[in-house]
Amino acid sequence: MSWTVDLLIRGGTVVTPEATFAADLAVRDGKIVAVGTLPEPPQARQVVDASGLQVLPGMVDPHVHIHWPFLAATSRDNFYTGTRAAALGGTTTIIDYAIQRECHPQEAFEQRRKEVEGQAAVDYALTQVLAEHSDRTLDAIPQLMAQGVTAFKCYLIYRKRGIMVDDAMLLEVLRRLREHGGLLTVHAENAAIAEYWEARYVREGKKDARYFVQAKGNVVEAECINRAVYLACFVGANLYIRHISTREGTEVVGRARQAGHRIYGETCSHYLALTDEVYGRTDGFKFICSPPIKSAADREALWAGLRSGELSAIGADHVAFDLAQKLEGKEAFDQVPNGLPGIETRFPVAYTEGVARGRLSLNRLVEVMSTNPAKLFGLYPRKGALLPGSDADVVLVDPSAERVLTATDLHMDVDWTPYEGMRLRGFPKVVVARGEVLVQDGIFLGRPGRGEFLKAGLPVHC
Ligand SMILES: [Zn+2]
């Protein structure tokens, strides 16, 4: 009996969280229809030779901010250029934000959908930022969940930006989400302590980037994570801590998980690759992001946390400010728009620093960069898996290929990269998204608007 498929990825080494095995992968109508040694290979309209290559599920980035405002600046990219860069770095699904700004959350959600419409080159889901303590905000939660937004975010800092919520609101959101089953994600930094030290350093004329990381020392993150985790455990809600940068924060999450709570920790590629030494450089202001990058000991604790299961995911926390925007704050750390461009480099950086340096198995890397984000954000097993019935989102990596990174070779609408000059592995040779070859040998073959909005389901515990 002969059978026909649209695409056959032949002779590669499939890597999943559970196993590594030689397999062919057959795709029809954008879905995976078979994975394994196929005794009767199908007729295929298109064949990709994967011999010598690692075949991974498309990466899922749980944390990106495309075209995002901070202070007076708005980051440079749009949903086409941002998602094109994502694809070139092996990411086939992004989870971005809709942000409530003095409006009904429903309105913020619809506005963001309109902004993405016709632009996204990869599939996307949205997390709703809840920034106002009001009944209209809390009552919008079930309504948004019915429309496929099951993850929410509260900022526990950024009082002056008008998006910070207090502990009463945090507890209230956790209670509502306990009731409806969604996922709360938080930016956990203690506002009072950070604001006090920032103001004090600025007043004393201590304005270079080194004082930024001193103002936001480990206690700022650790105390806030501890508080948010305590409240979530008390209520019994799902809580996901964004961008953990410290050993202490990792330990708090690990203890709660050990006790059986549904608490999840995310770290980001920059905390895994860099150390706070960057703030002592003459261009240290470029690296200002929140939370700031911490010590080498913290960095190793984050890797250990990823190995042990204390941490569950790696995000980019991508914000693409270019040098001119960053230079606005050259004289004072509190004037620098926060954030680093990373949507394109998240996977190669983690692959290089993790797998190539022996800190993490490739199976676990796949789990924390694809499978777990898909599970926690309600997209699994459509995303984050190479199973029959999953979307055919596939990344092919040549494990021996290496390149020296330079900003001009990247595609993120910015003129710099935090990883300039680093020798990186893990840039994909081929990227397939819903059965379509989107990237071939570093060339982007997609188009704006092909990415679809993903209606998320409830988080799956992992
Ligand atoms: Zn962020």
pLDDT at 195 over 60: yes
> Considering only CA atoms, which of 459, 312, 356, 454 is closest in space to residue 17?
312
The Cα 146–Cα 154 span in angstroms is 20
pLDDT tens, 23-67?
A: 999 999 999 999 999 888 899 999 999 999 999 999 999 999 999
97 C-alpha to center of ligand 1: Å?
Answer: 9
67 C-alpha to center of ligand 1: Å?
Answer: 12
* pTM over 0.95, yes/no: yes
* Chain position carrying tokens 């708005």: 74
pLDDT for residue 230: 98
pLDDT for residue 161: 86
34 C-alpha to center of ligand 1: Å?
Answer: 37
Neighbours of ion ligand 1 (CB under 5 A): 317
pLDDT at 402 over 80: yes
65 C-alpha to center of ligand 1: Å?
Answer: 6
183 C-alpha to center of ligand 1: Å?
Answer: 16
289 C-alpha to center of ligand 1: Å?
Answer: 9
40 C-alpha to center of ligand 1: Å?
Answer: 47
124 C-alpha to center of ligand 1: Å?
Answer: 16
pLDDT for residue 1: 57
> Considering only CA atoms, which of 6, 42, 89 is closest in space to residue 442?
89
Mean pLDDT of 374-393: 98
290 C-alpha to center of ligand 1: Å?
Answer: 8
64 C-alpha to center of ligand 1: Å?
Answer: 6
CA 338-343-348 angle, to 5 degrees, is 120
121 C-alpha to center of ligand 1: Å?
Answer: 21
In the chain, what percentage of residues exceed pLDDT 90? Answer: 95
pLDDT at 462 over 90: yes
pLDDT tens, 317-353?
A: 999 999 999 998 888 999 999 999 999 999 999 999 9
How many CA atoms, within 13 angstroms, populate the side-chain half-sphere of residue 213? 21
314 C-alpha to center of ligand 1: Å?
Answer: 12
How many CA atoms, within 13 angstroms, populate the side-chain half-sphere of residue 315? 29
Omega before 17 within 30 of 0, i.e. cis: no
355 C-alpha to center of ligand 1: Å?
Answer: 25
298 C-alpha to center of ligand 1: Å?
Answer: 19
> Considering only CA atoms, which of 195, 289, 300, 197 is closest in space to residue 246?
300
399 C-alpha to center of ligand 1: Å?
Answer: 30
14 C-alpha to center of ligand 1: Å?
Answer: 31
Q: What domains are defined for the chain?
A: 4-56+389-400+424-444 (2.30.40.10), 59-376 (3.20.20.140)
Alpha helices in 187-345 (DSSP H): 191-203, 209-215, 218-235, 247-258, 269-273, 296-308, 323-327
pLDDT at 376 over 80: yes
The Cα 244–Cα 250 span in angstroms is 7
Mean pLDDT of 235-246: 98
317 C-alpha to center of ligand 1: Å?
Answer: 4
Question: Can you count the helices (H) and strands (E) in the chain?
Answer: 14, 21
pLDDT at 445 over 60: yes
Identify the three-state secondary structure at position 233: helix
